[in-house]
């Protein structure tokens, strides 16, 4: 994302940015809240009535400013759709008329917020930081199931899920099994060709239990040689075979913990987040009085200045309710102020997904607070 200008005064004002890759839509989704004002170029269908009464409609590209009422994000297509009322009248659209803007890549938009908090500003900085990039493709598979994922710094996108029934080997008739397996490999191979952009991706992880990954890799190279697909053969060095316990999406967590993978992509957010969450779980196991989750517990720990590391999922900052959002922002700021560390997890990664399920907020404490544990019974009535 490119920052065109930033015009802020005491926390209110506007910024203008140009999103230039699909991940920027994710950032925009996290930035824009209901009630914000967005100015962007869009297409509007305009009906004109002639003097005789016949009406014609045509599509006009115009720049509109709307007050956002509804935000929709399509995770697969990375599209962001903003619906709201027009607040600046122009020749085509009346004041107060509803319009839905699809934010487009490479077209600037201006975002005006009544209040820019630290989270939002951090998000802008992060989005405009070009160094934070590592595109990795990962294929987690087991016999019959495969997920082709793209891991960017803030998102894990499942591009394709392949689920093919493979008959088991049976006596005297192993051919059905082999046929099924070949069909499965072919589907995964085609999926890779379709979804992985070899020019961008720096590394392709193939993860599976047992020998599936080796067998598949062999099949892929064989097939590429046969069909003379240079693109695969040239990027042969980018492939990495890693062990995973199953072909389901959450085994990506194991993959990202593999030492070989960590060494290769230590700079990505995804790998870092997995590690953080693991630390939290280890602490919960070893010293349960120093690891807490849930808003109430964490809030108490924050008030006691006890939080060493705060893990928080970014879906909490997309909260519809501005008061709740403010509470979380305050929690975030308080921890930073007290010299703690805050990790905002992307809810698009597997680890972030898990954190979001775990109430969205967790904390590792500097010192044990067993009193929190004791009064948990009273708290859990909600």
Partner 1 sequence: MARHRNVRSMQYDEFDDDFAVGSVNDEPECISPTDAQQWIFDRARGQSSLDSFLSNNEDIQEEDDDEDENESPSKERRDSEHFEFPELNELDKSRLLSCMDEIRNIIGETYSDRRLVAAIMSNDYDFNKALDTLLNGESKPQVHHHPRAKIPDVVEKGIGEMLLEKSQQMKHQKEAVTVTVTPASKNKTSGFEVNSPRTLTPNSSGRNSPQEDENKGNRTKEAIRNARELFEKERGSEKEQLHLVVIGHVDAGKSTMMGHLLFDLGNVPQRLMHKYEQESKKMGKQSFMFAWVLDETGEERNRGITMDCGYQRFETPTKQVTLLDAPGHKDFIPNMICGANQADVAILVVDATRGEFETGFEQGGQTREHALLVRSLGVSQLCVAINKLDNEKWNQDRFNDIMNKLKFFLKHAGFKDSDVHYIPCSGLTGENLVKPSTESELISWYKGPTLLQVVDSFKVPERAIDKPFRMSVSDVFKGVGSSGFCISGRIASGHVCTNDKALICPSKEQGVIKHITIDEFPVQSAFAGDQVSITLTGADPTNVSVGFILCDTHNPVPLATKIKARIIVFNVKSPITIGYPVLLHHHSLVEPATVSKLKAQLHKGTGEIIKKSPRCLTNNSCALIELSFQRVIAIEKYSDLKEMGRIMLRVGGTTIAAGLVTDIINS
Residue 82 in contact with residue 68, Cβ under 8 Å?
yes
CB atoms within 10 A of CB 76: 8
CB of 346 to partner 1, least distance (A): 16
CB of 170 to partner 1, least distance (A): 7
Give the sheet arrangement for strand 361-365, strand by strand: 291-293, 361-365, 307-313, 341-345
CB atoms within 10 A of CB 381: 5
Residue 284 or 336 having the CB closest to partner 1? 284
CB of 189 to partner 1, least distance (A): 20
Distance CA(63)–CA(25), nearest Å, equals: 19
CB of 176 to partner 1, least distance (A): 5
Residue 82 or 140 having the CB closest to partner 1? 140
CA distances from 28 to 1, 19, 126 (A): 9, 8, 11
Residue 109 or 292 having the CB closest to partner 1? 292
CB of 211 to partner 1, least distance (A): 7
Residue 348 CB burial class (10 angstroms; 0-12, 13-18, ≥19) = buried
Residue 105 or 210 having the CB closest to partner 1? 210
**Degrees, nearest 5: CA angle 145-148-154:** 135
- Under the rule (CB under 8 A), what is the footprint of partner 1? 144, 163, 165, 167-171, 173-174, 176-177, 209-211, 245-246, 248-251, 253-254, 278, 281-282, 284-285, 288, 292-294, 350, 353-359, 373, 376-377, 380
Residue 193 or 284 having the CB closest to partner 1? 284
Residue 344 in contact with residue 119, Cβ under 8 Å?
yes
Residue 331 in contact with residue 361, Cβ under 8 Å?
yes
Residue 48 or 282 having the CB closest to partner 1? 282
Residue 35 or 174 having the CB closest to partner 1? 174
CB of 361 to partner 1, least distance (A): 12
CB of 76 to partner 1, least distance (A): 16
CB of 135 to partner 1, least distance (A): 24
User: Which of 79, 81, 71 lies closest to 22, judged by CA?
Assistant: 79
Instruction: Please identify which residue in the block is written with the tokens 């990962």.
Output: 138
Token pair, residue 15, equals 């910024």
Residue 118 or 245 having the CB closest to partner 1? 245
CB of 169 to partner 1, least distance (A): 5
Residue 122 or 163 having the CB closest to partner 1? 163
Backbone angles phi, psi at 84, to 5 degrees: 180, 180
* Residues in CB range of 11: below 8 A, 6 or more apart: 115, 116, 117
């Amino acid at each position: 994302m490119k920052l065109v200008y930033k015009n802020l005064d005491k926390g209110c004002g506007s910024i203008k940015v140009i999103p230039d890759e699909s991940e920027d839509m994710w950032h925009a989704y996290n930035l824009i809240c209901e009630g914000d004002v967005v100015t962007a170029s869009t297409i509007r269908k305009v009906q004109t009535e002639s003097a005789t009464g016949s009406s014609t409609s045509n599509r006009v590209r115009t720049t509109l400013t709307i007050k956002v009422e509804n935000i929709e994000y399509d995770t697969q297509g990375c599209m962001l759709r903003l619906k709201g009322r027009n607040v600046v009248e122009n020749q085509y659209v009346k004041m107060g008329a509803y319009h839905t803007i699809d934010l487009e890549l490479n077209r600037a938009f201006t975002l005006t917020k009544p209040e820019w908090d630290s989270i939002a500003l951090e998000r802008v900085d992060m989005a405009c930081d070009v160094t934070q990039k590592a595109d990795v493709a990962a294929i987690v598979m087991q016999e019959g199931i495969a997920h082709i994922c793209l891991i960017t710094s803030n998102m894990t996108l499942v591009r394709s899920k392949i689920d093919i029934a493979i008959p088991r080997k049976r006596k005297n008739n192993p051919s059905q099994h082999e046929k099924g397996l070949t069909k499965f490999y072919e589907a995964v191979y085609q999926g890779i060709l379709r979804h992985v952009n070899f020019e961008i991706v720096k590394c392709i992880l193939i993860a599976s239990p047992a020998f599936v990954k080796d067998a598949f890799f062999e099949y892929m190279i064989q097939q590429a040689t046969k069909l003379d697909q240079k693109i695969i053969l040239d990027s042969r060095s980018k492939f990495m075979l890693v062990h995973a316990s199953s072909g389901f999406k959450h085994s990506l967590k194991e993959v990202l913990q593999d030492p070989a993978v960590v060494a290769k992509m230590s700079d990505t957010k995804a790998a870092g987040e997995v590690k953080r969450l693991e630390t939290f779980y280890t602490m919960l196991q070893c010293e349960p009085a120093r690891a807490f989750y849930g808003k109430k517990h964490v809030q108490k720990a924050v008030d006691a200045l006890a939080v060493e590391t705060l893990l928080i999922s970014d879906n909490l900052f997309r909260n519809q309710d501005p008061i709740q959002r403010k509470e979380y922002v305050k929690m975030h700021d308080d921890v930073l102020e007290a010299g703690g560390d805050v990790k905002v997890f992307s809810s698009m990664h597997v680890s972030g997904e898990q954190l979001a399920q775990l109430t969205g907020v967790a904390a590792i404490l500097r010192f044990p607070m067993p009193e929190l544990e004791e009064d948990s019974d009273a708290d859990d009535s909600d």
